[in-house]
Amino acid sequence: MAGSELTNIKSPRVKAVRRLTKRAFRDRDRSFLAEGPQAVREALALEGVVVELFATAEAEQRHADIVAAATAAGLAVHRASGEVMAELAQTVTPQGLLAVCRFVHVPLDGAVTAGARLVAVLAHVRDPGNAGTVLRTADAAGADAVVFTDASVDPYNGKCVRASAGSLFHLPVTTGVPVAQAVQRLKDAGLRVLAADGAGKQTLDDVDLSGPTAWIFGNEAWGLPEEILRLADEVVRVPIHGRAESLNLATAAAVCLYASARSQRAGSPAPAPRLP
């Protein structure tokens, strides 16, 4: 471990890291925090993403493989007291590992290529937990990219990073893109753009999903505005067979993305392209 244990929550180093819990400082420094062994392990798998690691003495022993990997990569590894970790972490019960990471943003043209088969677009999604869960689901469904439009939550928000369970580091993520620009790029790349919305005339059961598809998912409370619905090739709703009024965003996204993944794999066994 580098240096002595950090014990002062008011030290300049601790204050500098703590500032990354605020979006303005994340954007300025192009850095964010990844908390917990799962996120840290996945971040370390990408060369050059992790800048430094903080670990409590207990976590250092429990997750010796992660600490060893960070040390082998030449990263600064700081032992932190429980009080310091509690100050840096954004969870009620910190797991004792926290990494400062560089942004993993991929430009839109690099994320959405002509070979893309499945893309998720988050438009006006404000809840970081939902956004992170959609990102994780897109990864699990084999999506090629996830686009966070300029009106959506910051994917580097601590809650979003945790909800993604490491998927933030698995596939190209584009941020801050206007919806119209994203849709045009998707269409130029040969994807059919579907808007998931309860007002859709067609249901998920009626749509051919075997070809390259991009799904647009909207705000948790009010869905997608009319101007975005007009940009899509089709507006599709998930059928409700029971008495529930609707599905929440993350659940609806899972149903749509897996429906596309199943149809595509049934029609084309070729594996989807991953990160270059």
> Which SS3 state, helix, strand or coil, does residue 78 take?
strand
Residue 56 shares a structural domain with residue 122: no
Residue 243: the pLDDT is 84
Residue 134: the pLDDT is 97
Residue 200: the pLDDT is 86
CATH number of the domain within which 143 lies = 3.40.1280.10
Cβ neighbors of 244 (< 8 A, separation 6 or more) are none
Residue 267: the pLDDT is 67
* Domain-located, residue 217: yes
Distances (CA, A) of 115 to 140, 145, 182, 225, 272: 18, 11, 16, 29, 8
- Consecutive H or E run containing 64: helix 64-72
Distance CA 115, CA 9 (A): 48
CATH number of the domain within which 81 lies = 3.30.1330.30
Distance CA 95, CA 35 (A): 8
Residue 198: the pLDDT is 86
Pick out the chain residues at pLDDT < 50: 1-2, 269-276
Last residue of a domain, one of 102, 119, 140: 102
Residue 114 shares a structural domain with residue 198: yes
pTM value is 0.89
Residue-range definition of the domain harbouring residue 52 = 12-102
Beta-strand relationship, 192-196 and 118-122: unpaired
Residue 154: the pLDDT is 95
